[in-house]
Structure 1
Amino acid sequence: MRVERNSSPNDMSETFSQFVTKRLKGISLDANFNEEAKHGKFPDFTCFNGLALLEVKQLKSDQNERLNETIENNESIDNKINFYGKRSFETSFKDGPEKEEIRRQLHNKLSRTIEDHLRKAKEQLKNYSKRNPRKNRVNICIFLNNSIGVFTPDLFASCIDRKMNHKSKDSTRYNSIDYVIYISEKHYIHEEQKFRLTIWSYTNVEATNNPWKDQVIEKIITEWTQFRGAPISLQTESLQSIENSEEIIDIPKKMTRSEQWAIEYQRYPYLSEESIDNIRIIFHRTLLCTYISIIKGKWKKPTKEQQITYLRNFSHVIEEINRRGLDMNDMNKNLLSEQEITRISKGIPQDLIDLIFKEKPNY
């Protein structure tokens, strides 16, 4: 199931701030920033008459540049797949030890981003709690994401589980954080014919000794569900469902023609049932048609509308090749039989056919 949204993502931190102050009757400590800052670090909100402290972190920074750098540093490996256009990491490399190593490097880069936020939240909650002691209190770090697709719920959950369980000097590393909640409106889970946004929560070991704290978390999540008006898929320390989450596709207001064609095909991948042999034939047929326009010759040039159609068809077949994760070497013209070349060449000027297929060079 493909889910799209036509508008750019809103600032989720502003939306969440309104939620806390209106639905939870919370107090924004940032509103009194100058006074609070005099005393030290502090979280974003206090709720339920000081019973709960909330530090909110929104994942905003696009990670593509960092991830592309890692991939480029490994481009010399033998298992890299040749392709045109854009692809995900999973379809850019062949399966094997090298791919697993790159995946580990990418995971570590993303994990460091999460850990940086977690470390800051720990200090903010710890310092404020020390200045404002209270017998009963629940400290919560909430991560918001509505724009960064690579921070999938399962990756985030795996990272938090590893970081929060890390032991240091006989105490939990992040013992000033009772709960971590991840709210993603960039991902969804499709279950029981329902569209569900994703929330995942992690409970610190020490918090499990105080069941009343779970009720605070349930209250926050229930109120958020009602506030957003959308079903929520909540997982508590379980990866079973969130491993099946999918990314919500953002459709920009302005797109190039090639971007429009790509989205058009992603919505309706009509070549998905074709064999690789047929994909190769379609690839070379569409390529020949575009050559009529761009290679100089005595043949009649196609109309502007025909040229656009040829380019659109070529864009679609490239999308299918990338969707399957095929190597462009699988499209090599030397793999075509004489019968297939005859089929591809139907209606194409003979001079162009001779030019392209006479010596069968690689391209």
Structure 2
Amino acid sequence: MAIAYPHVAEQNPNMRIERNGDAEPLTPRVERFIREALAGRSLDDPASSETQRPDYACLDGRLIIEIKTLEEDGSSRLDNLMRELQEREDWPIFLGEAPLEAVLKHIKDPEGVRRKVIDRMGRAINTHLKKANKQLRAYKSEHPRPDGVHIAVMVNEDHDLYEPGPVANIIQHQLGRRDDGQSPLSDIDAVFYLSERHATVIDNMLTFPIVCIEAPEIEQAPWKRDVLDDFSARWAAWSGAVAYQSDDPTDVIGHFSKIEKIPEHMPLPDIWRLQYQRNPYMRRLSKAELRNRFDDCMLVNSLSFLNSSPAKPSREATMANRALFTHLTIEMAERSIPVTEFPHSGNRLAKAARRIGYSKAVQRWAKSI
């Protein structure tokens, strides 16, 4: 399910959704929703450890909720893994950052690397699930109820790493695990994942995901789905939003992308990156045309910074070329073109000099470097 807020979303033709600055924390809103829309009663008890109790009993005790918040962005864990992977002989060299999918196209074991990345990203999620299961189990043992539904609500506090699709896959895998025939998360009926860092646009409205991942055992108690559907519907109504239900959640979930945060002040390279992300004007070029742009950029860069340069470009031309170089690195990464596919060539630089209109002397110099 997804909920769409009734205002026109600011979205450019490149399917980017942007916002200025940070968002308001989501977890306090979820807690307020539970108290106001689900008649949630806090189970906070100073006499018992937090690890031995969930957060709320709702709907007259029929629905028990444990909230887990993804407070850290997890980037340091992934950075450590990436440093390890970059030692591989087949790891491609990109100019600047490149999407994981661009890298995987050039290595021998893409699925193995993908699993490592998802495993590293999922460590915080898995830890939260284990703790939530322990808390829900403790409550169930003290308050057995045949019509009870026990869920974990996982809240993403504005981290773009935790995309709905991969997160749903991680949770689904953990809920479906069996160790010696037993589920290590047997006391969780379902997990809701809420994120307002990821969105799409439906009917010109900004639309956020409500991802519900059910435990396999819920097939034996399908009436519990009524409670889960009621949770989703109440969250949408309480949020003042329109709810969209999909017959194929796996299809819809892939349409959500991260919301780009635009800070008030940005260094010049970040401004150049933002300009190209908003207007990827080289997307229409063929690979051969893109290579020509790359050669043009390398020529002007060499003329600007090499001491032997026979014709120094103006400061304005040098700055424009730096912006072009930034745009090229983004486009090459999007197309999965490592820099090794555009090797240095004096002949190509000489052709670039001729194409741009430099003198014969510059053309000869370019061929010689």
Bin for the TM-score computed over the shorter chain: 0.7 to 0.9
- Residue in structure 1 matched with residue 83 of structure 2 by the alignment: 72
Instruction: Look up the equivalent residue of 1:159 and give its one-letter code.
Output: I
Shift of 1:192: 6.2
CA distance in 1, matches of 2:110, 2:366: 36
Residue 240 of structure 1: SS of its match in structure 2?
Answer: helix
Structure 1 residue 320 and structure 2 residue 331: aligned?
yes
CA distance in 2, matches of 1:94, 1:166: 30
Q: Deviations over 1:286-331 (max 9, x none)?
A: 2333344333357675554443222222222222112211111222
Equivalent residues in 2 for 1:1-363, closer than 5 Å = 1-29=15-43, 32-37=44-49, 41-190=52-201, 195-234=206-245, 238-296=249-307, 302-334=313-345, 337=348, 340-347=351-358, 350-351=361-362, 353-359=363-369
Shift of 1:161: 2.1
Instruction: Look up the equivalent residue of 2:367 and give its one-letter code.
Output: F
CA distance in 1, matches of 2:247, 2:83: 36
CA distance in 2, matches of 1:159, 1:55: 18
**Identity %, equivalent residues:** 24
- Contact kept, 8 Å, 1:55 with 1:140, in 2: the verdict is yes
Greater CA deviation, 65-74 or 297-306?
297-306
Greater CA deviation, 141-150 or 191-200?
191-200
Shift of 1:182: 1.4
| TM-score normalised by length of structure 1 | 0.86
- Contact kept, 8 Å, 2:201 with 2:207, in 1: the verdict is yes
Taking only aligned residues, the RMSD between alpha carbons, in angstroms, comes to 2.8
- Contact kept, 8 Å, 2:218 with 2:224, in 1: the verdict is yes
Residue 258 of structure 1: SS of its match in structure 2?
Answer: helix
Greater CA deviation, 106-115 or 119-128?
106-115
Instruction: Look up the equivalent residue of 1:7 and give its one-letter code.
Output: G
CA distance in 2, matches of 1:150, 1:213: 31
Shift of 1:164: 1.3
Greater CA deviation, 241-250 or 261-270?
241-250
Q: Deviations over 1:193-232 (max 9, x none)?
A: 6543112212224433434422222222112112333445
Residue 92 of structure 1: SS of its match in structure 2?
Answer: helix
Instruction: Look up the equivalent residue of 2:46 and give its one-letter code.
Output: N
Q: Deviations over 1:127-174 (max 9, x none)?
A: 122223334311111111252333222222222222212223544332
Residue 333 of structure 1: SS of its match in structure 2?
Answer: coil
Residues 232 and 326 from structure 1, CA distance in 2 versus in 1: closer, same or farther, beyond 3 angstroms?
farther
CA distance in 2, matches of 1:287, 1:230: 51
- Contact kept, 8 Å, 1:142 with 1:180, in 2: the verdict is yes
Q: Deviations over 1:240-296 (max 9, x none)?
A: 321343222222333211011101101110011112222122122223333443333
Residue 263 of structure 2: SS of its match in structure 1?
Answer: coil
- Contact kept, 8 Å, 1:199 with 1:233, in 2: the verdict is no
Shift of 1:176: 1.1
- Contact kept, 8 Å, 1:12 with 1:58, in 2: the verdict is no
CA distance in 1, matches of 2:194, 2:349: 56
Shift of 1:191: 5.3
Residues 284 and 218 from structure 1, CA distance in 2 versus in 1: closer, same or farther, beyond 3 angstroms?
same
Gap runs ≥5 in structure 1: none
- How many residues get paired? 355
Q: Deviations over 1:29-60 (max 9, x none)?
A: 3xx4423439x611121211211111111222
CA distance in 2, matches of 1:338, 1:266: 27
Shift of 1:62: 1.8
